[in-house]
Amino acid sequence: MPKGYIIVRMTVTDPETYKEYAAMASEAMRQYGCKPLVRGGRSEALEGEARPRNVVLEFESYEAARTYYFSPEYQAAIEKRRPAGIGEVVLVEGVD
């Protein structure tokens, strides 16, 4: 079964509030079996518009990633993040 990945591209506008979101999200990641593959770090735009913060999260399946995203724990974290950043979040299925 292919793995599931959540890809986040974010511009943080309120670093202090974003730290609170990150703590909440980290707890949800542990609870739902997430493996962070990329979490910030150096990046550069090779094509198109870039965002300064990029995250790639790996899950055992597409369904597991979706369960994490829509979980009560992560939805509470999203509410904390919304006023602290602007970006995109995408769920993709890996190759088998």
Q: Give the count of domains, the chain.
A: 1
What pTM value is reported for the model? 0.93
3-state helix, strand, coil in the chain (%, to 5): 40, 30, 30
Residue-by-residue DSSP string for 27-51: HHHHHTT-EEEEES-----SSS---
Over residues 13-61, the pLDDT tens digits come to: 999 999 999 999 999 999 999 999 999 899 999 999 999 999 999 999 9
Positive/negative CA dihedral, 78, 45, 30, 35: positive
User: Using CA atoms, how far apart are residues 87 and 54, in angstroms rounded to an integer?
Assistant: 10
> Residue 54 is part of which domain span?
4-93
Q: What is the CATH number of the domain that holds 82?
A: 3.30.70.100
Radius of gyration of the chain (CA): 13
User: Using CA atoms, how far apart are residues 49 and 86, in angstroms rounded to an integer?
Assistant: 13
Give residue 91's pLDDT. 98
> What is residue 8's three-state secondary structure?
strand
- What backbone torsions phi and psi does residue 11 show, to the nearest 5 degrees? -110, 115
Give residue 96's pLDDT. 84
